[in-house]
């Protein structure tokens, strides 16, 4: 039976004699001091566990090892202090610290002033500086202070809120015969720039009766006049028998009338009946800089009022896109990496002030982030002509009116001319053109103009386009076994096409 008068140390199997022990703190140590708390659960205890009803917690008790040196106090060096009764060291007064600080400030300031007055670190004293160092100093003197220019703008939501109501969805309809073949979504323009998987084409309605209107295309546009004038691309509405416009706030689509369009510029103006429509303001695209943020709003793949954000990648781009009616030669285009997809065509490209600076027109399907928009600098020049459906003045295009191809070895053999002859073979002469009036004939070979030889059609056409309309040129021609000279007056291709 255990003796209740035994000390706790004896109950645990440990005996301490304060008189014989080397530990000067044996008499003042509490019962719980040989134990430490560890981060283990109840099932991982290294020693006996105790639980009090008042605490209702599980604690883990680790018995101290006999080999472990008990050290109630430690210092950073790990040694036990032996001077506990000594007088504490004297601490520095606040006045002394402040005085030392002032001395340092005066000394450093004096050195800086002396260095500046004496020009201690000038290029002459240091033996000159390198060009790289000069450039670094110049760059440091002109830092970027507007952090808004290097982060994504935070007003995109506001731009969308204010601009979106003026953006419309355009749906075009054509007869079943038109849809079954040669639809606008089947031509080379959309295959090259929008891929082969978009567009209604025949839409599976081959058996429908002729004359019934079927969906033929879809795009975007925006209202620029509160009385219902809408700007869009010509290729969005080209060949349509009926045009429907979905306007924000209207449950049913509105029928639009095509006022004027330009195939060459790929622009069109529509008119819907009504008033007080929300509008977008036309801005000035000439004030844009590459890297400026731009916002595109449209209806890609039919997803109404989709907004995308990017930057102006470049401007003054020129691209040529063939379609079923010819070749569109775009000039002065804006290039952007804002996402543009089928259905975005005709929608606005906006700056951060919410102003229209371009009309989204095309995107390269073989790349990512290469989209194009017609700038407002082009639009504003012809806008009134489109609204009134009057002829848009065009810059004269010099031409002679003949279809040409380079002379090949096979052509030389068939014509019976020397294979060393190089020039432009006349495949066709268009009726009533300058070439037709000058008696240039099919199968002629043009070898030069005004006494200069031109071995390729590219060189000859480039030379003709440098001439002014009305100028007369002498063409060196081989006809059969004869060499002749033909005088041709340069004409204007735009005028000829109009006639």
Q: Residue 165 and residue 222: Cα distance in Å, rounded?
A: 9
Reduced to 3 states (helix: H, G, I; strand: E, B; else coil), residue 230 is strand
- For 122, counting Cβ atoms within 10 Å of its Cβ (0-12 exposed, 13-18 middle, 19+ buried), the class is exposed
Rounded to the nearest angstrom, the gap between the alpha carbon of residue 181 and the centroid of all alpha carbons in its chain is 36
Active site residues: 235, 266, 345
Q: Residue 386 and residue 384: Cα distance in Å, rounded?
A: 5
Q: Residue 467 and residue 489: Cα distance in Å, rounded?
A: 10
Q: Which of 480, 491, 484 is nearest to 436 (CA)?
A: 491
Instruction: Supply φ then ψ for residue 214, to 5 degrees.
Output: -130, 155
**Helices of type H across 62-155:** 94-118, 131-140
Q: Residue 232 and residue 226: Cα distance in Å, rounded?
A: 16
Any bridge partners for residue 398, and if so which? 492
Could you tell me the end-to-end alpha-carbon distance of the chain, in angstroms, rounded to an integer? 130
Instruction: List % helix, strand, coil for the chain (3-state, nearest 5).
Output: 25, 25, 50
Q: Residue 359 and residue 130: Cα distance in Å, rounded?
A: 49
Token pair 């005996």 is found at: 15
Contact (CB, 8 A) for 488 and 435? yes
Reduced to 3 states (helix: H, G, I; strand: E, B; else coil), residue 391 is coil
Q: Residue 41 and residue 49: Cα distance in Å, rounded?
A: 11
Q: Give the CA distances from residue 334 to residues 9, 159, 192, 328, 422, in Å, rounded to whole numbers and listed in that order.
A: 91, 20, 19, 16, 40
Q: Which of 193, 206, 270, 199 is nearest to 237 (CA)?
A: 270
Q: Residue 445 and residue 440: Cα distance in Å, rounded?
A: 10
């Amino acid at each position: 039976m255990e003796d209740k008068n035994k000390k706790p140390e004896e109950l645990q199997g440990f005996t301490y004699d304060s008189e014989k022990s080397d530990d000067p703190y044996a008499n003042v140590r509490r019962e719980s001091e040989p134990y430490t708390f560890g981060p283990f659960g109840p099932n991982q205890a290294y020693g006996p566990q105790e639980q009090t009803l008042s605490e209702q917690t599980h604690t883990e008790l680790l018995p101290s090892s006999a080999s472990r040196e008990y050290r109630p106090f430690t210092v950073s060096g790990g040694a036990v202090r032996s001077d506990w009764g000594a007088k504490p060291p004297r601490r520095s007064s606040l006045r002394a610290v402040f005085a030392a600080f002032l001395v340092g400030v005066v000394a450093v300031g004096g050195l800086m002033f002396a260095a500046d007055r004496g020009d201690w670190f000038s290029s002459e004293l240091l033996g000159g500086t390198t060009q790289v160092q000069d450039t670094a100093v110049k760059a440091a003197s002109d830092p970027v202070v507007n952090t808004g220019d290097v982060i994504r703008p935070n007003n995109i939501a506001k731009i969308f809120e204010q601009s979106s109501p003026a953006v419309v969805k355009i749906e075009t309809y054509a007869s079943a015969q038109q849809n079954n073949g040669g639809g606008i979504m089947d031509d080379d323009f959309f295959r090259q720039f929008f891929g082969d998987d978009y567009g209604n084409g025949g839409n599976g309605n081959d058996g429908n009766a002729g004359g019934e209107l079927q969906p033929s295309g879809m795009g975007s546009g925006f209202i620029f006049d509160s009385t219902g004038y809408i700007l869009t691309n010509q290729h969005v509405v080209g060949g349509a028998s009926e045009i429907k416009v979905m306007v924000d706030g209207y449950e049913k689509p509105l029928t639009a009338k095509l006022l004027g369009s330009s195939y060459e510029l790929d622009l069109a103006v529509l008119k819907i009946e009504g008033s007080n429509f929300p509008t977008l303001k036309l801005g000035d695209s000439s004030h844009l800089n590459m890297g400026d943020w731009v916002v595109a709003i449209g209806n890609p793949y039919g997803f109404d009022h989709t907004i995308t954000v990017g930057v102006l990648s470049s401007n003054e781009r020129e691209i040529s896109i063939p379609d079923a009616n010819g070749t569109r030669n775009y000039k002065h285009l804006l290039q952007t990496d804002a996402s543009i997809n089928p259905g975005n065509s005709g929608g606005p490209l906006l700056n951060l002030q919410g102003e229209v600076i371009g009309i989204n027109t095309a995107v390269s399907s073989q790349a990512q982030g290469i989209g194009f928009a017609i700038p407002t600098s082009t639009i504003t020049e012809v806008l009134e002509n489109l609204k009134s459906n009057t002829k848009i003045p065009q810059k004269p295009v010099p031409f002679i009116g003949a279809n040409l191809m380079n002379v090949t070895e096979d052509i030389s053999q068939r014509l019976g001319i020397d294979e060393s002859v190089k020039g432009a073979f006349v495949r066709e002469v268009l009726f009533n053109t300058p070439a037709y009036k000058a008696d240039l004939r099919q199968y002629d070979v043009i070898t030069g103009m005004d006494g200069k030889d031109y071995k390729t059609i590219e060189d000859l056409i480039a030379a003709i386009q440098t001439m002014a309309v009305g100028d007369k040129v002498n063409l060196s021609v081989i006809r059969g076994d004869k060499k002749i000279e033909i005088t041709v007056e340069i004409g204007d291709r735009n005028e000829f096409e109009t006639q």
